[in-house]
Structure 1
Amino acid sequence: MSRLVAVAQGSLAGDLTGTHRSAVVIGGGQAGLAMSHCLTGRGVDHLVLERGRIANEWRDRRWDSFCLVTPNWQCELPGFPYPGTEPSGFMTRDEIVDYLSRYAASFGPPLLEEVAVTRLRVDGDGRFALTTTRGTLTADQVVVATGPYQVPLIPRIAERLPDSVTQIHSADYRNPESLPPGAVLVVGTGQSGCQIAEDLHLAGRRVHLATGSAPRVARRYRGRDVVDWLADMGYYRKSIDEFDDADAVRMRANHYVTGRGGGRDIDLRAFARQGMRLHGRLSAVGAGVVEFADDLRRNLDNADAVSESIKDSIDAFIAGRHLVAPEEPRSVPVWAPDDGPTSVDLAAEGIASVVWCTGFGRDNRWIDVPVFDGRGYPAHHRGVTTFPGLYFLGLPWQWTWGSGRFCGVAADAEHLAARIAAGPARPVEVPWIAGTPHSTSPSAAEWTAPRTVA
């Protein structure tokens, strides 16, 4: 811990009631720390509140073998670019935690750890009042930087599984040894689902994988990491207002790929050839039997098509710029499924565990400020909400594709810091509703989600 962090904690020991700051940042992950760095640079008196420890989400909600899927060089937090020796590598979970801890130590944010915000409202004096586990403090302006994936979502269909089957969400998965012996059903083929399925598969576990509609992307193409090509092509800088279908863009699932072992493709067809059982979307559970839809072939074909379309874009970029890059043959499917729906008897297959890789939702009920749409998501433009003085940071597609990533949060934080330093402005007109539900965010009737606080 840096000396300045220690000073902040020491000077605000005990009850926070009566404390006032020009700005308060809620959340001590990469977004909150980036915000603090930018506010510090502008001389704004502020405080950062973190319900756990620095990098809490990375520390407590990632499995043991987790690593970034984007190269380390994209870690460009304000004033602290990636300091390691492997810019083309992929930091592991523990390395990410260390990176963020060293970032905090580099400038000493006024950070209080183990302080949860349970309510945010406006008091009678027009100030923001933050009720916390250590009392109530006030602020002129507030930045909510609590991350986009707060509440693990598990479908109600999970209630129909036998009690003998262990069920966990991807947020609670740590390693193959943490699950009871036997086969494992992994539900969902976003980044978490595919990587956890691979983790179990490499450990020799029998894996059944219920696929979804998430696309995939090649790790490398024509001599470079695909992320390098996409960065040069401007994809991470493209703003959301350049799209006619902004809401649909935000709802797209991330492409699955991995940084494990130096980075490689995730080819579900190859896993199938090696013994992994692939299925369509999970559709029903009853009497110890799980049923899957007749969409496995379509799911695999669509994922491959997206990957090939990205390669098409790279080819066009290379040709248009007259770049020299090695030619590379296109991927050829190594396995194809039989058509038709499938069902699996859990006991007969020895399935003892289910890992739900079904995404996360937001819970903003602790925020008593009128900035949300009918779905409970904040209306904002570049993080500036319709309520003067309240901001959000770290949302997917907050402004660009890079907004929710290490590579884009710096620009978003600096934009908000300039607004905050100027003081609360009049209500902003929001040309579009930002923060649409995560691609797996469902209706309350379909899912179970615990009540959480920031």
Structure 2
Amino acid sequence: MPDTTPTPPATSEARHYSVIIVGGGQAGLSLSYYLRQAGIEHLVLEQHTMTHTWHTQRWDAFCLVTPNWQCALPGHPYAGDDPHGFMKKDEIIAYLDGFIRAVAPPVLEHTEVRSVKARPQGGFAVVTTRGTFGADQVVVASGGYRTPIVPRLAERLPASIRQVQSADYRNPQALPEGAVLVVGSGQSGAQIAEDLHLAGRQVYLAVGEAPRCARFYRGRDVVDWLAEMKYYDLPVTEHPLREGVRDNTNHYVTGRDGGRDIDLRRFAAEGMELYGVLEDYRDGRLRFAPDLRRNLDNADATYNRINAGIDQYIAAHGIDAPPPSLYTPAWTPAAERTELDPQAAGIGSVIWCIGFRPDFGWLEVPVFNGRGHPGHERGVSAHPGLYFLGLPWLHTWGSGRFSGIARDAQYLAERIAAACSPEALAA
């Protein structure tokens, strides 16, 4: 979709806006939707193209892990005929393209933000590859998953092993022949390992501390139960972990083929080789922590704990549902294996699935804590006029997802409107 804002000249200051949104993903576009409704002048700056990560950072067999009915971007709810299904990659892109058309945001694509600085007199200077803009208020909607994480030990692996980050994985056929080592068992790692396993590839999986959950339980999708239980409305301030929940790894499950559990133990019984956390590579051997059994047990404990909460809800409300059940291990490691010779195992490629980190190096405003994370309350920072949107657990579980971004965007739009000048509201 072409830019809807004229290209500014590369001068000392291209133009001043009431609000500048940094990031043209679903978060930035959701806020643009509400600002347009309020008549607030604004500009969206996008380094690549709108919603580009959905085009470039998803593998071919990717699908949603939450049911389609949770796709509830503002003014653009899911309207298909399979609300309890799971859209595939092409369907997700089509859904987002429809959202872009509906919002028709004022956007400059292919515009990288180099720095955002607070001005002594108020407002911000936004330096970009297409000039410097002024703004009364700035919303950072660039996402919490920008920079792929690859450990330094990757530098020491043999040159014969091809290394791929999860954002660059496409399909089993695109990898060299031989076995594949998948490092990390969060949502991406578990699903990519499954994708390779189903294709008949020999998979070695370094299992981390990610929890798991059931896809269906007692006659319904677990997401449906948790929504009815109001879990997705729980604000971070009321979560038992408080802000610590933002550091949690997402539960692994899949929407593939209509949705099912991901059971790493079953994969192991079928031939997938499971190890603990990858710690090092030296003397020609991969070194793993002796924690596979613990990681599998903890993931299963979370699985059973979520189901037990559903059991309690069903009992408390007298709901007629199929009987409860308890997951019992389909396979247990005989012993912890802490070493692996990748060449002897025939490993031809490694896929790093250990996550992403945010990149706020360009934001030169003192709002960060000691861990480099932005401080905010429901997206409102301590610095007047600076906001964040689209981060995991910004307010609720759905803050970084299609299901909860509208609520967060509407809230920030109201705060922004309250701080706008009468001229901006009349624009």
Could you tell me which runs of 5 or more consecutive residues in structure 1 were left unpaired when the two chains were aligned: 426-454
Match of 2:31 among 18, 30, 35: 35
What is the rounded CA distance, in whole Å, between the counterparts of 2:337 and 2:7 in structure 1? Answer: 60
- The one-letter code matched in structure 1 to 2:375 is A
Give the match for residue 410 of structure 1: 406
- The one-letter code matched in structure 2 to 1:22 is S
What is the rounded CA distance, in whole Å, between the counterparts of 2:307 and 2:127 in structure 1? Answer: 50
Q: How does 1:245-394 map to 2 (within 5 A)?
A: 245-394=241-390
What is the rounded CA distance, in whole Å, between the counterparts of 2:119 and 2:382 in structure 1? Answer: 18
Q: Deviations over 1:300-347 (max 9, x none)?
A: 111011000111000100110111111243322111101233321111
- The one-letter code matched in structure 1 to 2:230 is G
What is the rounded CA distance, in whole Å, between the counterparts of 2:8 and 2:89 in structure 1? Answer: 31
Matched, 1:92 2:93: no
- The one-letter code matched in structure 1 to 2:297 is D
Match of 1:12 among 7, 22, 25: 7
Verify the 8 A CA contact 2:212 2:299 in the aligned structure 1.
yes
Give the match for residue 128 of structure 2: 132
Secondary structure in 2 matching 1:346: coil
Match of 1:155 among 143, 151, 154: 151
Verify the 8 A CA contact 1:161 1:285 in the aligned structure 2.
yes
TM norm structure 1: 0.90
Percent identity of paired positions between Structure 1 and Structure 2: 56
Verify the 8 A CA contact 1:388 1:424 in the aligned structure 2.
no
How many angstroms does 1:124 deviate by? 5.0
- The one-letter code matched in structure 2 to 1:110 is P
Matched, 1:222 2:218: yes
Give the match for residue 425 of structure 2: none
Q: Deviations over 1:174-201 (max 9, x none)?
A: 1111211110100100001000101111
What is the rounded CA distance, in whole Å, between the counterparts of 2:268 and 2:240 in structure 1? Answer: 38
How many angstroms does 1:375 deviate by? 1.7
How many angstroms does 1:383 deviate by? 0.2
- The one-letter code matched in structure 1 to 2:383 is F
What is the rounded CA distance, in whole Å, between the counterparts of 1:246 and 1:101 in structure 2? Answer: 35
Verify the 8 A CA contact 2:236 2:243 in the aligned structure 1.
no
After superposition, the CA RMSD in angstroms is 1.5
Secondary structure in 1 matching 2:208: coil
Q: Deviations over 1:41-83 (max 9, x none)?
A: 1111011111111211111111111111000100111111112
Verify the 8 A CA contact 1:54 1:100 in the aligned structure 2.
no
What is the rounded CA distance, in whole Å, between the counterparts of 1:280 and 1:225 in structure 2? Answer: 30
What is the rounded CA distance, in whole Å, between the counterparts of 1:151 and 1:25 in structure 2? Answer: 20
Secondary structure in 2 matching 1:126: coil
What is the rounded CA distance, in whole Å, between the counterparts of 2:62 and 2:123 in structure 1? Answer: 41
Give the match for residue 175 of structure 1: 171
Verify the 8 A CA contact 2:111 2:128 in the aligned structure 1.
yes
What is the rounded CA distance, in whole Å, between the counterparts of 1:123 and 1:80 in structure 2? Answer: 37
Give the match for residue 68 of structure 2: 72
How many angstroms does 1:166 deviate by? 1.0
Matched, 1:396 2:392: yes
Give the match for residue 192 of structure 1: 188
What is the rounded CA distance, in whole Å, between the counterparts of 2:359 and 2:103 in structure 1? Answer: 31
How many angstroms does 1:165 deviate by? 1.1
What is the rounded CA distance, in whole Å, between the counterparts of 1:205 and 1:286 in structure 2? Answer: 26
Secondary structure in 2 matching 1:348: coil
Q: Deviations over 1:245-291 (max 9, x none)?
A: 32332211110000111111000011011110011111221122112
Secondary structure in 1 matching 2:99: helix
What is the rounded CA distance, in whole Å, between the counterparts of 2:47 and 2:186 in structure 1? Answer: 27
Give the match for residue 233 of structure 1: 229
- The one-letter code matched in structure 1 to 2:223 is V
How many angstroms does 1:405 deviate by? 1.1
How many angstroms does 1:13 deviate by? 5.5
Secondary structure in 2 matching 1:411: helix
Give the total of aligned pairs.
420
- The one-letter code matched in structure 1 to 2:292 is L
Secondary structure in 2 matching 1:349: coil
Matched, 1:202 2:189: no
Could you tell me which runs of 5 or more consecutive residues in structure 2 were left unpaired when the two chains were aligned: 422-427
- The one-letter code matched in structure 1 to 2:289 is A
What is the rounded CA distance, in whole Å, between the counterparts of 1:389 and 1:378 in structure 2? Answer: 14
What is the rounded CA distance, in whole Å, between the counterparts of 1:398 and 1:12 in structure 2? Answer: 33
- The one-letter code matched in structure 2 to 1:114 is H
- The one-letter code matched in structure 1 to 2:282 is G
- The one-letter code matched in structure 2 to 1:360 is F
Matched, 1:108 2:98: no
What is the rounded CA distance, in whole Å, between the counterparts of 2:218 and 2:15 in structure 1? Answer: 57
Secondary structure in 1 matching 2:399: coil
